[in-house]
Amino acid sequence: MGNLRKDIEAQRIWFSADFHFLHTKIADICNRPISTEEHDEWLLARINERVGKKDELYILGDVSMASKVRTEKILHRMNGQKFLILGNHDRSIRNSTIFNSIWQRRNFNFTSLSYPNIHIVLDHYPLASWERKVHGAFHLHGHTHARFDNTKNGLSFDIGVDNNNYYPLNLEEVMDRFTKISMNKF
């Protein structure tokens, strides 16, 4: 089996973006279905409802606009091994030790029996082009809060909470979404 990962692992790798914890106006700005006072606990519960303690969670930016100390208090309570793709509101946590790794952009690769040779470019921002796009590589982004349709090419979509019922999606769900987008393209 060499480098093949178990298919069950696709269910334990999660992607999300644009939490905006400790942002006093995000519930109103994005029309989130919760009051500002309840927002952080509500969103944290939704994340932990899906992501297990040993799962991988790739956060594609905009974790929080608060200080490192205040943000890390929330992150300590969030399940999963966390990986960060820096967003425009992540200045205070760019050097946080909460994350296993922090990148500006990341090429995510995954291979299993069900998902041979997956390549996804992770970036906070939607891209018009990315590495290996012409070979069918996918792209996940945040930043747009479901206000920008980047799915016309069938290879890209907004993984942010505002576009995904305020939940992270696992790799299996992401690949299912890409399949549906590609099928609707034709």
Q: How many C-beta neighbours within 10 Å does residue 90 have?
A: 20
| Domain layout of the chain by residue ranges | 8-185
**Sheet strands side by side (includes 81-85):** 101-103, 81-85, 56-59, 13-16, 169-170
For residue 140, the model assigns a pLDDT of 97
The residue with tokens 């040779």 is 117
| Average pLDDT of the residues in 78-99 | 96
Structure tokens at 76: 């300590």
For residue 44, the model assigns a pLDDT of 98
- Pairing of the two strands 81-85 and 56-59: parallel
| Average pLDDT of the residues in 49-56 | 97
pLDDT band at residue 186 under the 50/70/90 scheme: very low
How far apart CA 119 and CA 136 sit, in angstroms, is 8
Give yes or no for residue 54 having a pLDDT over 60: yes
Q: Which residue has the higher pLDDT, 158 or 111?
A: 158
Structure tokens at 119: 């390549």
For residue 66, the model assigns a pLDDT of 93
| Average pLDDT of the residues in 20-37 | 87
- Mind giving me the DSSP string for 62-107? --BSS-HHHHHHHHHHS-SEEEEE--TT-GGGTT-SSSSEEESEEE
The least confident of 24-33, 51-60, 147-156 is 147-156
Structure tokens at 123: 């970036």
| Average pLDDT of the residues in 66-90 | 97
For residue 6, the model assigns a pLDDT of 65
Give yes or no for residue 55 having a pLDDT over 90: yes
pLDDT band at residue 104 under the 50/70/90 scheme: very high
Q: Ramachandran region of residue 132, left (φ > 0), alpha (ψ -120 to 50) or beta?
A: left
Q: How many C-beta neighbours within 10 Å does residue 44 have?
A: 17
> What architecture does CATH give domain 8-185?
4-Layer Sandwich (3.60)
For residue 109, the model assigns a pLDDT of 94
Write out the H or E segment, with its range, that includes residue 176: helix 171-185
